[in-house]
Every structure is written in structure tokens, then in C-alpha cells.
């Protein structure tokens, strides 16, 4: 028999309202007891008595046994989630930054206090990738997880490639639709995708990685020459995070734009949709596709977690328990396209090898091999130059 859930909801923005819309259409054994908001003066469609600006009114209520955290502030989310777990309350969260940064600690809190933290909505919206990594691939040898993890950047790239919109116009539209934040750097800079792939790697490989040690460069320096280069080769540019097993001791994780050819599943993933590719020893390659941005898609993932809590579901972190002892290694060599402005930039970057070097009055680029660690070290130089770097379609052994 399903447990009765009395829910304290933190946040009533796009995802919070999407969750509420979904929940009222179902007759399940749970109830929203109280909703915490920041602005009490804002007009709501629900009864005023349902809302509060005092987090402790929810956290200290013994009748509330489940916390759903859907706020943007990662620091505040961390305080709310840890306090809830320490009180033995189960938690559902969609805050990928908070979870990625504190996941190891949050796992320990769950074990110590016997509570459950679920966060399917934090990675790729409506795609149930965490549950699949936990259950379907629990005893599978995984070679790599990659894909399109950020619906906002993918929406922008779709508009500039398919409709010839300017980058700025596409970004503005993404913000109007609620896909991108007012400060879009978390999306277009690859931070959002990095937090998500770090979380996915914990379930795929049992490794808890500090996001600060993971390379992320996004699409913020994309220009028309980069688009022309990709189109001339019959390719598209996508922002692709990857977690890849290098050997029995090391895993590589990074986020870069990538040149995608037509034979790649990701080539046709457009707009706010996400696509996750899982490469496994026995199942081979499998592909998951679904909406990665918007209130209802993310709300649906949160709703699924709430429903699972009615039956005492919790992540078992099976790969971590196997003690594979994998560690992050940034020495993987990849081939990249680098379009740059200052000729001096090349003198400051150590390529393993340069196979193509093009220089004209207004356009300079090289194609060559380089370690992820070297890009990580020279990230600030690359971005300050206005340069754009993308992994090519060439897979190096």
C-alpha cells in the first residue's frame, strides 16, 4: 500500500507550477501542505493560506514528511535539503548545481538519517536517465555517457543553425520562453551541463567528482565563421558533456561544443530537447530522447520521484558500493577546432599536434590534438580572446 505524503514545497516558479499542474490531474496519495516562496506580495492562483515565506514553518512541521525543493539558489537549497534529511524527511530536488557540488555529503546524510533524496529532474528534464543508470545498468560495464544535457543552449544552437537567427536573438527568445536564466552563463557557458554529467557519472561509475575539477567551455563565443565552418562540412555544433571510462583506474569528464555529423543521434536533437547516449559493453549503444527544459517536462520528472517515494524508493548507489575506485583524469587527448583572434594565443597553448592551420584577414583557425587538461589550464585565455573551441567529429583511440 502506498504511503501518504504530506509535502512541503519550496519554490513556485516555472517548475513548481508545472509540478502542481500535473499533480492536480492525478488522484494519488499525497497533499501539498505548504509552499515556501520569496515574494508574498505576488498574486497567486491558489489560496493565500497555502504559502509562507518562513522555511522553518515547513521544516519544523512534524506532519510534513516530504520536502520538494525547486528553487534557483544552490546555497539556500543546500541548507533546506540538509536540514530536511537530518529531520528524517524524504526530499525531492531538481537543483543540479547543489547536488553536484554536495553529492558525496548528501549520500552520507541519507545513510545516517534513513531518509531518501531523489533528483531525477536535475538531469535532462523528462528523460529518466538516473533511474536507468541505477536500475537497468546497475551491473553493466559502461564505456561512456554523453549527449545534449542542456535544453537552453540546444534551443539557441537550433535557431542559429536552422533559422539563421542571430545568437543574441535566439538567446533572448530562450529567456522569454523560460528555457534560459536572466544570467544565461550557467547554460551557454556549459556549467549546467557539467553539473548534470557529474551527477550522472556518480550513478554510472560510482565516482564523486568535484565539479570545479571538470572542464566546461560553452557556446558563448560562437560566431558566424564557426557556423560557416560546420555547415561546409555538413555538420552541426552541439554542446556535449561526456563521462568516459579511460581505463580501469581513470574516468574522463568534460563539457565542450562538438561538431556533429549526420550519422550521429545528436544531429537531429533540436530546440529544447535533450538526448543521452549510453555506450555499454553488452547493451551496446542506447539513446534516450526527451524534453530537457520547461515547467511540465521537469515537473514530470519531479512528479515521478514523488510517486516513487510513496513506495519507499531510494537510490542504492550500486556502482559506488562496488568500489571501482575510479578517479578523474584530464589527460585524455582529443582533436579540436579552435577559431581565435589573437595570433599570440597559439603560442600560449600546447597542442600535441596541429594538422590544419588557416589564416586570413578576418578568420584564423587550427585543427589539432590537445589534452583536456591543457584546455582546462588555458580556459580563461581562450575565452578572453573571444576564441571558440569545439571537439571535432574524429574519435581518437
Q: Which residues are catalytic?
A: 196
**What's the burial of 61, exposed, middle or buried (CB within 10 Å: 0-12/13-18/19+)?**
middle
User: Rounded to an integer, what distance in angstroms lies between the CA atom of residue 88 and that of residue 116?
Assistant: 8
Given a contact cutoff of 8 angstroms between Cβ atoms, the answer to whether 128 and 297 are in contact is no
User: Rounded to an integer, what distance in angstroms lies between the CA atom of residue 251 and that of residue 20?
Assistant: 39
| Nearest CA among 271, 103, 266 for reference residue 195 | 103
CA dihedral 390, 391, 393, 397 (to 10 degrees): 170
Please report which helix (H) or strand (E) contains residue 256, including its range.
strand 250-260
**CB contact burial 283-320 (16+ within 10 A = b; e otherwise):** eeeeebbbbbbbbbbbbbbbbbbbbbbbeebbbebebb
Given a contact cutoff of 8 angstroms between Cβ atoms, the answer to whether 258 and 275 are in contact is no
- Backbone torsions φ then ψ of 340, nearest 5 degrees: -135, 165
Given a contact cutoff of 8 angstroms between Cβ atoms, the answer to whether 314 and 34 are in contact is no
Q: Is the dihedral of CA 46, 49, 50, 52 positive or negative?
A: positive
Tell me the three state secondary structure of residue 278.
Answer: strand
**CB contact burial 112-150 (16+ within 10 A = b; e otherwise):** eeebbbbbbbbbbbbbbbbbbbbeebeeeebebbbbbbb
Amino acid at each position: 500500500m502506498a504511503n501518504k505524503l504530506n509535502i512541503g514545497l519550496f519554490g513556485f516558479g516555472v517548475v513548481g507550477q508545472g509540478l502542481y499542474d500535473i499533480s492536480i490531474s492525478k488522484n494519488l496519495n499525497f497533499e501539498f501542505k505548504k509552499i515556501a516562496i520569496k515574494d508574498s506580495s505576488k498574486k497567486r492562483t491558489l489560496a493565500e493560506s497555502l504559502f509562507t515565506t518562513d522555511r522553518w514553518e515547513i521544516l519544523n512541521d512534524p506532519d510534513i514528511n516530504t520536502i520538494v525543493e525547486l528553487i534557483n539558489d544552490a546555497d539556500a537549497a543546500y541548507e533546506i535539503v540538509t536540514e530536511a534529511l537530518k529531520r528524517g524527511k524524504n526530499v525531492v530536488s531538481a537543483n543540479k548545481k547543489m547536488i553536484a557540488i554536495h553529492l558525496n555529503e548528501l549520500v552520507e546524510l541519507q545513510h545516517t538519517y534513513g531518509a531518501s533524496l531523489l533528483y531525477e529532474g536535475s538531469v535532462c528534464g523528462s528523460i529518466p536517465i538516473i533511474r536507468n543508470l541505477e536500475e537497468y545498468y546497475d551491473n553493466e560495464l559502461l564505456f561512456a555517457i554523453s549527449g545534449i544535457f542542456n535544453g537552453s543552449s540546444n534551443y539557441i544552437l537550433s535557431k542559429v543553425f536552422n533559422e539563421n537567427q542571430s545568437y543574441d536573438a535566439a538567446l533572448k527568445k530562450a529567456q522569454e520562453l523560460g528555457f534560459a536564466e536572466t544570467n544565461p552563463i550557467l547554460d551557454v557557458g556549459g556549467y549546467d551541463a557539467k553539473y548534470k554529467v557529474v551527477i550522472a557519472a556518480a550513478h554510472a561509475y560510482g565516482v564523486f567528482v568535484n565539479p570545479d575539477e571538470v572542464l566546461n567551455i560553452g557556446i558563448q563565443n560562437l560566431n558566424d565563421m564557426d557556423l560557416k565552418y560546420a555547415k561546409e562540412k555538413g555538420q552541426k555544433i552541439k554542446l556535449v558533456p561526456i563521462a568516459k571510462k579511460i581505463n580501469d583506474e581513470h574516468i574522463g569528464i568534460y563539457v565542450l561544443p562538438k561538431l556533429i555529423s549526420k550519422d550521429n543521434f545528436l544531429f537531429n536533437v533540436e530546440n529544447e530537447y535533450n538526448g543521452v547516449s549510453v555506450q555499454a559493453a553488452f547493451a551496446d549503444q542506447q539513446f534516450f530522447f526527451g524534453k530537457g527544459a520547461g515547467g511540465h517536462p521537469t515537473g514530470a520528472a519531479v512528479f515521478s520521484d514523488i510517486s516513487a517515494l510513496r513506495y519507499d524508493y531510494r537510490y542504492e548507489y550500486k556502482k559506488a558500493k562496488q568500489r571501482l575506485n575510479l578517479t578523474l583524469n584530464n589527460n585524455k587527448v582529443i582533436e579540436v577546432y579552435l577559431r581565435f583572434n589573437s595570433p599570440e594565443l597559439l603560442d600560449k597553448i600546447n597542442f600535441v599536434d596541429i594538422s590544419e592551420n588557416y589564416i586570413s584577414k578576418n578568420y584564423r583557425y587550427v585543427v589539432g590534438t590537445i589534452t583536456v587538461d591543457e584546455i582546462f589550464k588555458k580556459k580563461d585565455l581562450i575565452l578572453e580572446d573571444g576564441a571558440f573551441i569545439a571537439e571535432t567529429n574524429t574519435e581518437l583511440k
